[in-house]
Amino acid sequence: MKKIVIIGGGIAGLAAAYRIHEAIAQDAPVECVLLESAEKFGGKISTMRFDGFIVERGPDSFISQKPQAIELCKKLGLADRLTGTNPDHPSTYVYLNSKLVTMPDGLSLMIPTKFMPFIFSPLFSWSAKIRMGMDLFIPKKKGDDDESLASFVRRRMGEEALQKMAEPMLAGIYASDPELMSINTTFPMFVQTEQKYRSLILGMLARKRQQMIHQAKAPAGKQPFSLFMTLKNGLDEMVETLVEKASSITFRAETKVVSLSRNEDGWDLTLDDGSSMSSDAVILATPAQITARLVEQTTPKVSELLNRIKYVSTATVSIAYKKEGFPHSLDGFGFVIPRTEGKRILACTWTSSKFPARVPDGCVMLRCFVGGAMREELAEQDGDAIGTMVREELIDLMGIDREPVFLKVFHNKKSNVQYQVGHAKLIESVYEELKAVAGLYVTGSAYTGIGIPDCIRDGTKAAEDAIEFLTGKTKT
């Protein structure tokens, strides 16, 4: 019986474990242990439930356009637990010149796909609208060299589109500096659209037409998923159910691996309690710096490459209020703030509008985002300082001058990976070096995508590679 050890119990490691569980159910001659240093599994996915509130410490949803998370939920028997965003309040705002300005209808990320709402929107100046419209005529880029998000947006849509949309929305997803983040690895669909259609606007219009045709062909009564999906009782439902149902996997929390070394037949692991275990294959589902430390003796080149990957700090603040007399209608999903506005928070999600079932009757809940690559020091303050800062900002931004029902600050210190220009080639180099190291695999948000579906896809592939290595059988 061959043995696989997975180090790291975030969603990538859990997805790897579940794929191995499936293989064992199909008579694969392997056994598997997953080791997690924290007291619970799930990594950044962590849900608090109290007094009728559902509060996410980390991500609150996943994107439906990438199917891996939805497919995993279905396998786990959670299809009836999937829920989308509230269709009654779809608007999103940009804070601009001391006002919340509605994003125009038909604006797909930053690409206008409806003429009249875009023309009459106060979000952009007339010169910016003309410049964005020039995308229809600008030739596509030659060559496939990576470039920054900022460079790409300036080239296609202009400076104002970068400042008011791309920086707060697109760079905000990664908590990154748009001047450094790789367009090829963060938003490859833009690169592909430019290469296929030349114009981003023409490409997005073609994509919308294809979606309409697809929806028209869908079976009667089958509703499409909303862009963002979650689970009714919080994303921890996915974690808890997976650990319960992957019964052939041994899950061990509060178990830290302090060293990893080769032996004649495979791998030796030393644990923080002084004990050890051996394995025929190892899947490292840990942040890049931890992985770098564990492989330093075995493959120093991989360690050096992984140490080039940077992480930044962020913080989120979930804050609830009584609904009666609340000074804002919360008629949307929230707002983003361009850096040029000089505010101390990046964005604010109106959780009680986006996911109404996450708050009890008579309350509203907001979620504010702090820090990232360009204001990291704000996220590294203590919790009291961050909470005070956010309350001050909400008075200024939304006129909320009242005592909250609760305020909870969640730190994410050096945990937001940065995909900088050249990231794809860096990861290709890591994979190439690992080909010479039999039975060692890496997975997680540091490699090919930071989202939950990305990590599930990557963890599943690592598991399949490990199974094939040990059994000689490809996936079925």
- CATH code of the domain in which 184 resides: 1.10.3110.10
Q: Is residue 82 in a domain?
A: no
Residues 207 and 330 in one domain: no
End-to-end Cα spacing for the chain: 20
| Residue 96 to residues 101, 154, 157, 258, Cα–Cα distance (Å) | 7, 20, 19, 49
pLDDT at 219: 73
Residues 401 and 349 in one domain: yes
Residues 114 and 159 in one domain: yes
- C-beta separation of 34 from 459 below 8 A: no
- CATH number assigned to the domain comprising residue 318: 3.90.660.20
- CATH number assigned to the domain comprising residue 293: 3.50.50.60
pLDDT at 476: 40
pLDDT at 221: 58
Q: Is residue 76 in a domain?
A: no
Handedness of CA 72, 74, 76, 82 (dihedral sign): positive
pLDDT at 342: 95
* Sheet of strand 257-262, all strands in order from the earlier edge strand to the far edge: 257-262, 267-271, 276-279
Residues 127 and 202 in one domain: yes
Domain residues for 454?
Answer: 2-39+238-309+420-471
Residues 431 and 301 in one domain: yes
Q: Is residue 229 in a domain?
A: no
Residues 303 and 316 in one domain: no
Domain final residue pick, 165, 182, 217:
217
Residues 284 and 430 in one domain: yes
State how many domains the chain has. 3
- Quote helix, strand, coil % in the chain, to nearest 5: 40, 25, 35
Q: Is residue 410 in a domain?
A: yes
Residues 243 and 212 in one domain: no
Residue 238: burial class (beta carbons within 10 Å; 0-12, 13-18, 19+) = buried
Burial 52-62 (b: 16+ CB within 10 A, else e): ebbbbbbbbbb
Q: Is residue 402 in a domain?
A: yes
DSSP calls for 123-134? TS-HHHHHHHHG
Residues 254 and 211 in one domain: no
Residues 455 and 336 in one domain: no
Residues 134 and 176 in one domain: yes
Q: Is residue 65 in a domain?
A: no
Beta strands in 402-450 (DSSP E): 406-417, 440-442
pLDDT averaged per 10 residues, the chain (length 476): 97 98 95 97 97 97 94 97 90 94 87 91 96 96 95 97 94 96 96 96 91 74 78 98 98 97 94 96 98 97 98 98 96 95 97 97 98 97 98 96 97 97 98 96 97 98 97 62
Beta-bridge partner residues of 367: 318, 349
pLDDT at 223: 59
Q: Is residue 21 in a domain?
A: yes
Q: Is residue 317 in a domain?
A: yes
pLDDT at 227: 85
Residues 408 and 447 in one domain: no
